[in-house]
Every structure is written in structure tokens, then in C-alpha cells.
Structure 1
Amino acid sequence: MKHLAIIALALTPLAGLAANLTIPAGKTYVVGVDQQELVLENLRIGDGAKITFSSAVAGWRVQARHAYIGKGVVIDGSASAGELGDSESAAPACTSGNAGGNGGDGGDGVEIRLQLGIEALGDMHLLSTAATEAMAVLVATAPM
């Protein structure tokens, strides 16, 4: 009985919902700042749909009572790469090349939290990796 009460309590925030979100098959849906927290009755994501995030979105939390996820769905919250390092010009013949500058830090990936009552699930790929510092460029060319 305790487990039933805990489950019922966990679903209580979903009790009076009427909102729905449908992302058509093959379309890209961009999550904006005003959509960082969604509480839905129905979430439908079509085959091959892709969800990306505006640069201002740090996290995305979705609660859906009923979720229908198609095949090949991608939720891509990967971070943007850092700035490239500075390149140096080619070195004169028979000398070592000059080192380029360090790249900038990459960003953090989007924190994605999904609480879904899954009714149908094809396959879904979640990407939320942080970017690493961009690599420095080294130019070392010399004629032979």
C-alpha cells in the first residue's frame, strides 16, 4: 500500500493537465527559454524528429502522462565547441614551426530530465555532452 501511495503522490502534479506537445515526423523542434519546464498530458514525437535547444537553455524538464516516441528520435543537448586556437604562419625552410594559441573552453551540455509515462517507444538518442576546449592549431611546414 505504501508503494501505491508513493506512486500516486509522484503523479499528483500531472493530475489536472490538458497541455499537449506534438513534434511531427522528420521535423526539428527548437526548445526556447520559455519551454524549459513542461508538464504535459500527451507528448508525441514522430519518427526521425530532432529536438535541439536555443543557446540560452541550460536545462529541460519534461513531465508527460502519456508519451509516444517514434523511431530515430534525437534529443541533442550537446554543448557548443569552444573558440578555435590561433594559427601561426608557416615557418621558414629548415626551422621548426610556430605553435598556435590555445582554444577557448567549450560549453556545458543541456541538463535533460524526462519523466514520461511511455505508451509507445521506437528508439530515442539523448545527447548532452559537454564540449572540450578547442584544439590549438600548429603550423609546421617547410619545403624539402
Structure 2
Amino acid sequence: MRRTLKFSLNLANTNKIQELKDLSKEYKRVVNYYLMVLFSKDEYILSEEEVKSCDSLLSYRYRQCAKRQAIKIWKSWRRNTKKGKLPEFDGALILDNRFIRIEKAKASTFDYWARMATLNKGHPVLLPIKSYDYAKGYFDNWK
């Protein structure tokens, strides 16, 4: 079962926020590129060559995630009877445990730290997290 919890990024400094914005902007650009490729081919499949052909700062892992998200958007758009124009992705990044890890804070004013991969390879961003009652219940039972 998957759970989604939302936390504020207000506690992160401006440099960390800017790195996340840069990542989000590049990720969205790549998803839209993949959507254009899918539209031009009129298929549900992107080959590895097409994934690698996109000139991007994103790592291959991020490109795989962007590819998966673009294919889901494409399939949804194709099934829709009122298709309209090709969708442009401007939503949230759907990432898995390869990109983000939550760690309990040891001696800090924050409850947790989120370690997230960015465009700067080998230099993840640490985002401070203050928990709330609803989330604490999940974190306490987290394995």
C-alpha cells in the first residue's frame, strides 16, 4: 500500500529551494519532450535510444522516471474520448526511493531530514522536515 504525506518546504533555505526548482523545471521539460516523441510516433513505447536522445542535465534514473510519467500521461490522453490538444505536463514529480530518502534526525530541531538527489550529481539536498500528528502515526509504524 502506498501512502502520500505532504510536508512544507518553508524550513529549507533559498539555495535548496532553488535546486529543487531547477530540478522540477528540467524534469517537466523532459516529460514534455517525451510526450512530443510519443505524439509523433503515435505509440505507447519509448525506446532506450529515444530516452537517451533527449539533451538534458537529468541523470538516467530521472529520465527513466520521466519516461514512465510521460507514458502514463500519454495513455490517459489517448483513452480520453474528448482528446483536445496534446497535454503539456506541469504537475508534480512522481519519484520513488531511488531519488528521495527520509532519515530520522539525531540531534536537531527538526524531526526528519529528506535526502533528495538533484541535478548536481553526488551532491544531494538535505531538506528539514517538521512532522505533524497525522504523519507521526505513520512514521512510528514505519518499517
Q: Classify the TM-score, shorter chain.
A: under 0.3
* TM-score of the superposed pair, with normalisation by structure 1: 0.23
Greater strand share, structure number = 1
* TM-score of the superposed pair, with normalisation by structure 2: 0.23
Greater helix share, structure number = 2
